[in-house]
Amino acid sequence: MAKLGAVRILVIAFSAAAVWGRGHPADGPRSVQSVNPFYLNRLESGEALIEARQWEEALKEFEVAAFGLASRRDLLAKTYLLMGLCLAKLGSRESAAEKTAAAAGLADWEALLEIRFPETIKADLEKLVAEARRMPPAASPDREAGPETVRPKESPPTEGPPSEAPAKSSDGPALERPDPSSFQGLQAAIQADPRYAAPYYALASLQARDGEFEAAAKTLRDLLRNIPAEVRGHLLLGRYAYEGRKLKEAERSLEMFLNLAAAHPAEEAFRDEARALLVLAAYLQGKDGKARAALAAASEVFDPARFARLTLKPRDLDRLLVLRTAFGKR
């Protein structure tokens, strides 16, 4: 017990020194142009799924990524183009052309093909762009989405004012249409279609960015109540519960994610995050034995390339490294 007490003092001292001794920008105010790593990870996950020819799963990843990339026109254009490719592969040529045209609205037709893509999909993208350029504009912006995807009728926002006219009330002036990426817009999107996952993730991310971790956790609970099959919701719920120091809920949610993710190859890229958080949640509850076991199960997380991909806060990354050293000494 004395040794475990010394380990705990070492971790607290090292973590405090790391936090106060280094001005980590990730813990400070965020730039308006910064992109939450969550959305970058969804984009990267979608690209990996395209390489595996898993078009429907990739499309879901890009739909979520698009919500958080409005400040990066280049990444949003890339996301829209890849969404178009997925839709084309799923048999929705018209929807594919619409997404490709949306990408061209952020860049231009020639610039789209200058984005670096794997050679395995380059020819498909060139064909997609050529077909989209030949297609006439859609007759109605309110055309229903086809059965090939559960995306919303409105695309995630691009920079600049919306192209559609403001909605009007029956007896008064024009009403301002809420920004689809704002709190109000995302809440409206959830109310309009509670079975569509992307707005839940985007709303929870905004809430967590503002430090409202309990609100973010509630959003994820609502997601899992309405869409129980949304496996990654358990990971995000675990993360936000951890950030809000609801450690028992964090532990339950992270364990649930790891159990369910075993049957979902698309979740492979996110297991490291869950394993790392589970170590921390157990340790902060004083469950040193469980923390040690979780750390042993997460040994591969400390591979330098994999550790660099974790999106935990710097103080938590430092704590993991100290725990690995301390618990590694018997």
pLDDT computed for residue 23 by the predictor:
33
User: What's 306's domain CATH number?
Assistant: 1.25.40.10
Same domain, 123 and 236: no
What pLDDT is stored for residue 328 in this prediction? 66
**Does 210 reside within a domain?**
yes
Residue 301 lies in a domain: yes
Residues 126 and 195 in one domain: no
Check pLDDT > 60 for residue 206. Answer: yes
> Mean pLDDT across the stretch 260-284?
87
pTM of the model: 0.57
Q: Is residue 8 one of the residues assigned to a domain? A: no
Average pLDDT, the chain: 75
**At which residue do the structure tokens 């550790």 appear?**
307
pLDDT tens for 86-116 read 998 888 888 888 888 888 777 767 776 677 7
Residues 196 and 126 in one domain: no
Per the domain annotation, does 171 fall within a domain? no
Residue 204 shares a structural domain with residue 124: no
Instruction: Note whether 303 and 223 are same-domain residues.
Output: yes
Confidence of residue 175 (pLDDT cuts 50, 70, 90): very low
User: Same domain, yes or no, for 209 and 280?
Assistant: yes
For 178, half-sphere exposure in the C-beta direction (CA atoms, 13 angstrom radius) is 10
| 108 within some domain | yes
Residue type for position 249 = E
Is 55 a member of any domain?
A: yes
Q: Is the pLDDT of residue 218 over 70?
A: yes
Mean pLDDT of the region 106-132: 78
Residue 137: domain span: 37-142
Contacts of 99 (CB under 8 A, 6+ apart): 80, 81, 83, 84, 87, 155
Residue that is last in its domain, among 142, 160, 181: 142
As for how many domains the chain has, the answer is: 2
Residue 158: inside a domain:
no
Q: In this structure, what CATH number is given to the domain that contains residue 111? A: 1.25.40
Instruction: Examine the pLDDT at 235 and tell me if it is beyond 80.
Output: yes
pLDDT score, position 20: 32
Average of per-residue pLDDT across 281-306: 90
In angstroms, rounded to a whole number, what is the distance separating the alpha carbons of residues 322 and 316?
Answer: 10
Same-domain check for residues 250 and 137: no
Same-domain status, 241 and 310: yes
Write 242-249 long-range contacts (CB < 8 A, 24+): 242/277, 242/280, 242/281, 243/208, 243/213, 244/213, 244/214, 244/216, 244/217, 245/284, 246/214, 246/217, 247/281, 247/284, 247/285, 248/285, 249/217
Considering 75, 110, 142, which residue would you say is the last residue of a domain?
A: 142
Do 214 and 322 belong together in one domain?
Answer: yes
Same domain, 199 and 137: no
| Range of lowest pLDDT (140-154, 280-294, 301-315) | 140-154
**In this structure, is residue 169 part of a structural domain?**
no
Domain endpoint, select from 80, 109, 142: 142
Task: Inform me whether the pLDDT recorded for 27 exceeds 50.
Answer: no
Give yes or no: residues 137 and 205 share one domain: no
Phi, psi of 167 (to 5 degrees): -70, 150
Average pLDDT over residues 12-21: 38
Predicted confidence at residue 107, as pLDDT, reads 72
Residues 211 and 304 in one domain: yes
